[in-house]
Every structure is written in structure tokens, then in C-alpha cells.
Structure 1
Amino acid sequence: MPKFSEFFSLNQSQYELDFVDINNRRDTPVYVDPYAIEVADDIWAATASEYIRGFFKEVLDALRANNIPRAAFLMSNLHEPSETFLGVSREEPRGRGVGAGQAQQLLRAIQKSKAFRSGILSDLSEMSLYVEGVARDKISDLTTNILRGLLAEYTRQQCELHAIPIGPYSGPPLWNASKQSWVSKQIMLPRIEDMPVLLVPKYIVRRNLSLESQEFYNKQITDFLVAEHLKANDSLVHILKTTNERKVYKGDVRDRHPMSKKFIADMVIAHPELLEMYKGLAKTHKSLIVFEEEAPSLTSVCANLASVFSTIPKGPAYATKYHDLVLGALTALFHPDLIQPRKEWEIHDGRKRIDIVITNAGDKGFFAQRRDDPRTGANVVIVECKNYSNDIANKEIDQLIGRFDVNRGKFGIITCRGVEDDKLLLRRCQDAAVRQQGYIITLTDHDIVDMLNARAELKDELVEQRLFEKFRMLLA
């Protein structure tokens, strides 16, 4: 069976899609990572983090109050999230979530853990560090179930964006964050061969979780113990004959202090700075873009996209093709700074104008500056695609300005095929900036193709340079 994108004839590579392009015949070997969600700097992730924290606090509070029925109720509603097709199943995807039979076992494991008894266990993302029998698959499945409602809405938005049909699905209960309970609710999902599909944003998945016990033990904890034994000058210290250098071997340290989740908890209780260091490094882990070894490279995808622009004619008849091409190009160029594009307005006036709102998740560079700059405050970037054969006029500028507000911010992008009087268009955009109505940059085919070619040639700095130049011209 083809991938999701092939089944619905999207004609876009994984680089051009915001979600994981799954195959319903085999699980994609990636996992939903709660720590990646926690450290992400965007509105959706902030809401998702509240869901995760709220749910896990309810579980821990119930266990500490010895309210086992309440804890069991919370855990037993976490069913196998087979709709995402993520994980490591070798045959047909089945999921490995927490069902009623496993709920009591998992609760007992939490209660028995040193981290729970000492009070240091507070985050779902840290369960794999401390709780026996909990690893990446269980953490991913727990997280997916808690976020099922949010992921269903994300799926609906992506299907609307790509014109994918959806239908009603009565699946497992959804976590209601305000009621702190599970509720049954019908959702709308796409289907492949009558199998419901829940799409997952690719920026929240990892091949391995950001926080994993073996990695934490092998790196921060072992390195710390090596230094401690050197300081103590004990029996693990060897004197090298050639240099007279004192040395402690990591293998000896691991033999002396074998890895266990109880030992990790003991180390964190005694030295909490080790966990903070580990989490700080994990925060820098980059999100994945593609998930299959045979997938084309980003450079080849960008080079191909650059060549397609000249093949699409101008005019309303080809507006949808141009819109899809631009959206794919922007995703390939700017993910994960720009994520979760969604369609928000569609106006039929002979030109079929479609506005796209894209969440700004940039943590550095141009888009981070646009979010943090009080003049723009761009929590989102509003994009209008104009498949015009004539120049953009004041009407189009005013239309985009009308989309700005205090929540979205005041930054937008107009893409168009070309500009005959670029000085006049710049003056129009500058006028809006001077009046603090909004800050609009225009990207022509020439601009986008140049950026795609730069990325195809591994000259990423030229992409940022083009954006900064466009913005500075507004302030001139």
C-alpha cells in the first residue's frame, strides 16, 4: 500500500509535508516525544504540554492519595493508538498502548519506583528514566492517547489544507483537560482502506526519546562518576606508565555502579544538576524531517521544487497548483521554524485567493526575531499566494493588513509570480510599516527559486540573508 501522501495523490515529499507521511501497512519507526513538545516554542505545543502535565499530575495525585480506583480509571482509558501507525511493529500496525490489563501493572511500577517515593517524579517525559518497564514505545503511546483530541483537530486542519476527505470516527475516549477526565466524542478522520488515520506533526517525533535512561547513564552519570573517582584517588584510578597520567576507565565505573533505574533516581536525588545538564542538552535535539533511508535528500527535493515554478501558468485556473507548490516550498525551506500550516480564508473573486496561517516556532534566526520583535509579535505568519499576471496593489496589501491582530501579530508574506514595478510595491509595504499597520514582505518566484537553489547547494545562510534583506527594506 502506498504512503498517505501517495494514497491521496498529494504529489509532495516528506520535506514538503508538516506531518509524518505514514504507511498503513507498516509502522514508521519514530515516537511521539513529550519532552520535544515541552521545549517547543509554539502555541500548539504549549497547549499539548498543559494536557500532558495535567493528566500526569492527576495520576500522581491519585497514587499519593492511595486512590487506586481513580488512578486505574485514568490509566485504563489509554488504548492502543493504532491510528498513528508509529512505532516498531514488524507486521500490521497494532500499537502497544496501555489497556485495562496493563494499567495496574504500570501503576504498581510507578509506585515501586524510587523516583515516585522520593517525590522527584513529576513529568511524564521522565518516566523512562525512573520506572521499570517503561521505555520509548510506552511513553509515546501514553502521550499520543492524552493528545488524541488535539491530534484529531490537527488532522482535520491538515486534511482541509490538502483537500483530503474525512469522515466520522468513534474511537477511544478523549482527554478533557478542563474536566480532568475522559470523554467519549466522535471525531473526523481520513481513512486508508477503511483504516482511520491520525496524523502527527513531524516536529514532535524522534527516533529515540529525548530523555532515555541508558543515554543518561552512559553520558552525564558515568562522566560525573569518573570525575568523582579521580577526585577520591581510589582503587579505580590507574597510572599510565608512559605519561604518568591518572585515569579512570568508564568500563570500570560501570562495573562498580551498574545501571538501574533506582540508581539513576539515587543519582538525581543526590545531584539534581546532572538531570538539568542532560535536559539542557536534550533540548538542542533537532526534529526529524524524513523517516526512511530510501527517501530523497532535502537538496534534491529543493532542486526539483525550484524547477517546477516555471511549469505552472499564471491565472485563477492554476491557483490551486501554485498554492500547493508554494506551501510545499515554504515547508521545505523553513520547517521546523514554520509549522502546522492551516487554511483560514478562501475568497472567490475571480482570482481564488487563499490565505494560509503558519505557526511561528522559530527559536533563533529570522522567524524567532519576528516573534520576539514587539513591532511584529508574529506568533503566526500569514501567507497569501497570488497567482497573478499583474502587480500587487493597495487592495492586496490592505487585505493582508486586515488579517493582523494582537494574537496573530503583524507580519505576513505575499507570494506572487513576479513584480513589474518593484519600487512601487516596496513603497506600499513601507507605508504600512511606517504607520505600524503591519510588516509585509513579498516573495516572487525568483526569490523562492533562489532560496530553494541555495538550500539545494547547502548554502542555507543565503536563505536567511534573503529574508533579512527583505525585512530591512521595509524599515529603510
Structure 2
Amino acid sequence: MARFSEHFQLGLSQHELDFVDVSNTFDTPVYVDPYAIEILDDVWAASASDNIRTFFTEVLAAIRDGDRVRAVGLMSHLTEPKETYLGVSRDNPQGRGVGPGQARQLIDAISGSKAYKSGLLSDLSEMALYVEGVDRDKISDLTTNIIRDLLVDYTQQQCELYSIEAQNYSGPASWDQRRRNWVARIVQLPYIDADPVLLVPKYIVRRSLSINSQAFYNKQLTDFLVSENIRANSALVQTVKGQPRVFKKDVREQHPKSKSYIAEMVIAHPELLAMYKEVAKTQRALVNFDDDDGAPTITAVCAQLAEAFRNIPPGPKAASEYHTLVLGSFTALFYPYLTQPRKEWQVSDGRKRIDVVFINSADTGFFAQRRTDAKVNANTVIVECKNYSKDISNEELDQLLGRFDDNRGKLGIITCRSIDDGKTLLKRCRDASSRSRGYIIVLTDADLVEMLLAKSRLEDERIEHLLHSKYLELLA
């Protein structure tokens, strides 16, 4: 029954981890959502989206060309992704992927759908809207298999981050975007007992798909049909307290849900799908991933983290413990804006090491503004953890400034225990920003504890305020 974090004795809650903390004995009821990946604006999601797009383009091209062997062959490699332990299974976790026996049926369903015949179908995330027999589990499994290579790399990065051993695994073939085909290879994955585990970033999963045929029918289509019937003064209109009314149940009886009908309505009224997708973009990344009432809340976790800073002494002996605490605190504070932490990323041909690099996935707020600012271009945020009992020196600042470039961006954060001469340190950081060398924010224990306590009270605006204040000090 142990989860990944428990098996490897990480001592971290789900809120301190970037990945879904799964167990190999039961499935976690969430799904990999291709639309959640598509709308993300970060380098990892862009690569994942490219994989999904090239695969589905190949499938549609094979169907259009009448190359049934090619189409079925592409789908036949989508075996069940049992290594993720996501979704819902009746017995042991095993997923519901598309195996060789189902590939032909799926190709028939796609090619026979009104959406394909009309040219409407072009996006994997919309298959659940238009293709019969395709729902959240199948879309999730398809997506997982297509981005398997990226998930393997992600899993290995997380293993490096937490010093977890990975072993050889000869699993399913991976989609090779360059070759436009499936390629088998041996990879390295962690194991729980005899079971390999493929970790999934929690910001790409949802409890239900963002593009959901039932939700689209219940909301956008039904509301539209109600309005249209009132406008046309149809036989469904009733007068209630002097006002014309159309009841949703009457509309649904007249126009029962089917995926062919959904396709017909989107062809006639494409604005309905556009509106639905805009609403779907606002669906937030998940915080909780199961129904375990005993799991600690984000507020409780942040309060505990704030207290933990008092228990770690400064100095090299506790550097690793401090590093882990800062990493967990950043994930608790800034998910889903900062994601996929990678420890000691090698840069400059391995000549330099970085403590932690986060991908900047923010679409709003402080970190999003730093990414869209041409001067900063913060595609990543580089974090250096210094468990010092002395002030940060020019050497540490220059070290971090030297790691900025046009691809990673020019935003870094140094964490340290305290600062004695804050004016001198701020002047050094201002000098760097004034010369456009980079922007370094220094966060002490007091700053991190203040933010964690704010998060424990669900006062996220205080966190934003502190970050903005620190940044504006660099520009003064």
C-alpha cells in the first residue's frame, strides 16, 4: 500500500513533490490530459505537444491515404501504460490502453466519425468529443504512451533529485518524433519491489479531461439550444411567471447526446467549442490526487515547513537537509507556476553545476511576468541554496550570473539563512540588474517562513507581494 515517497523514504508530502505520488498496489484516479499540456507555455510542455501533434497527424494522414496497415500499426504500439498507476482499474492497476486487439476498432471509429469525414477532427484532445468509444481513460493512455520518452527523462531527473536508484527496463516502444515511428529501447526506471514506476508531473493530470463530451453537451450545447428555442419561440417555450422559459430536460429529450450530434453542432457553430476551450483553460492544476481524508492539506504542510526552518542548523553538515527543505518549500509555495525541479543541471559542457532548476510554467502572476519580459526571459528559474552562517559574497553572485543565458533566461533566486549587511548585498544585486547581467532575488529564512505562513492561511497575494517587492528593489 506504500506510495512512491514512502517506499523510498523521502519524508515528503504530495504538496512537496512535483510528481503524482503513486502506489503500485492501487490506481490514483487522475488522468493525463493532452489539452492541459497543449495550453501550457513552457519548454517541456511544448516538446510534449509536438510529440502528440506529430503522432496524431501521422495517424490521420495514414487514414486519408487509405494506408490501413500504417494506421493500425501506429495505434498497435499504444499498449497499456501500467507503470504510471493512474486511472481506475477494477482489480490490480493495469490501465486500459490501446493494444493490438483494439487498434483496428479505434481506427474504424475514427474514420467512421462525422468529425473525421468533415475534416473537423485534427486534435487528439478532441477525440473524446467526437469519436465513439473514446473517453478519459483511453485519451490518457494514448497521451501517456506518446510522451513516454519525455516521462522517462522526467522520472530519471526526479530520481537524481532524490538520490533514487534506477534500473534497466525493457518496456514498450517510444514515439520517435524525428522518425515518425515507434522505437524500442532499454531505459532506466525506479522500481517498487518488482514493479517499474513511470512518474508523471502533477500539473498535466486532471480528474476529468478538460475537453469532455458530457460537460460540453451539458453546458455549452444545452445552454445554446435553450437560447435558440427562446429566440425562435419554439414549441418548447413555456411561460413561467410571465417570462418565457425552456427547460433543459426538454431540450435534451429533443436532442439526445451523441458524438455525431456534437460534431454537427460544432461544424455549424464553431464558436461554441472555442468558448468551451477558453473556459477549460481556467481549470486549475490539481492539488489533491485521491480521496484519502488523512492526507495533509496544503495549509498544514506549509505551516510544518515554516516550523522546520528553525530545526536545521547552518553549515555544511546540514546542507543536504536544508536543500531538501528549500526544494519542498518551493514546490509547496509555487506549484503549478514553477515545475519539474532538476537538481544540479550540468551546463557549459558539465563545467558548472546548478543547485536546482525549475521550469517556469506560470501563466499569471510574478513568474509569468518575468518570462514575458524580454530583458529577463525567464524560461527557467535557477535556485541556489546556501546553508551559510555568513553573508552571500560576490563570488556566489557571480557564479549564478555566469549561469544565465538567452535560453534559460536571467532570473535566479539565492536562499540563505540570514543577512547581516543587507544594504551591501542589495547594491551588488542592483549593479548586476542595471547592467542587464541578470536579476537575482535573495530569500532568507525569514522571507521563506513569511511566505509559507501566508500560504498556510491561503493568503497567496502576500506571496506575490513579497516577490514583487524583492524584484522592484533590484530596479530602484
- 2:262 equivalent among 250, 264, 271: 264
User: Given the alignment, which residue of 246, 249, 253 partners 2:247?
Assistant: 249
Give matches, 1:5-24, under 5 Å.
5-24=5-24
CA contact (8 A) 1:217 1:259 kept: yes
Structure 2 letter corresponding to 1:150: L
Task: With the length of structure 2 as denominator, give the TM-score of the two structures.
Answer: 0.97
What secondary structure sits across from 1:340 in the alignment? strand
Give the CA deviation at 1:354. Answer: 5.4
Match of 1:111 in 2: 111
Matching residue's letter, 2:140: S
Q: Describe how 1:86-125 pairs up with structure 2 within 5 A.
A: 86-125=86-125
Task: Indicate the RMSD between aligned Cα atoms, in angstroms.
Answer: 1.2
Aligned position for 2:333: 333
Which aligned pairs between 1:11-410 and structure 2 lie closer than 5 A? 11-240=11-240, 243-293=241-291, 294=293, 295-345=295-345, 355-410=355-410
- Report sequence identity in percent: 61
Query: What one-letter code is carried by the residue in structure 2 that aligns with 1:471?
Result: Y
For these two proteins, the number of residue pairs brought into alignment is: 470
1:344 and 1:187 map into 2 onto residues whose CA distance is 21
Q: From the superposition, tell whether residues 346 and 409 of structure 1 become closer, same or farther in structure 2 (CA, over 3 Å).
A: closer
Q: Distance in 1 between matches of 2:411 and 2:310?
A: 28
- Length-normalised TM-score, structure 1: 0.97
| Aligned-residue offset at 1:111 | 1.1
Structure 1 residues 206-237: Cα deviation after superposition (integer angstroms, max 9, x where no partner): 00000111100000000000111111101000
Q: Answer yes or no: is the 8 Å Cα contact 1:357–1:380 preserved in 2.
A: yes
Structure 2 contact 344–353 (Cα < 8 Å) conserved: no
SS in 2 for 1:182: strand
| Cα distance in 2 between the residues matched to 1:173 and 1:367 | 36
Asked if structure 1 preserves the Cα contact closer than 8 Å seen for 2:404 and 2:438, the reply is yes
**Are residues 333 and 286 of structure 1, via their aligned partners in 2, closer, same or farther at CA, if it must alter by over 3 Å?**
same
Q: 1:121 to 1:353 in 2, by over 3 A?
A: closer
Counterpart amino acid of residue 249 in structure 1: F
Q: Please list every run of 5 or more consecutive structure 2 residues that lacks an aligned counterpart in the other structure.
A: none
Gaps spanning 5+ residues in structure 1: where? none
Code of the aligned partner of 1:283 = K
Q: Give the 3-state SS of the residue equivalent to 1:199 in structure 2.
A: coil
Contact kept? 1:353, 1:386, Cα under 8 Å = no
Q: Secondary structure of the residue that 2:344 maps to in structure 1?
A: strand
Kindly state the Cα deviation for residue 90 of structure 1 after the two structures are TM-superposed.
Answer: 3.4
Distance in 2, Cα, partners of 1:353 & 1:379:
18
SS of residue paired to 2:83: helix
4+ residue runs over 2 A deviation: 344-347
Deviation string 1:375-430 (CA, Å, 9 cap, x unpaired) is: 21100000000001111000000000011000011110000011111111111111
Letter in 2 for 1:292: D
In 1, are the aligned partners of 2:354 and 2:382 still within 8 Å (CA)?
Answer: no
Report the equivalent of 1:419. 419
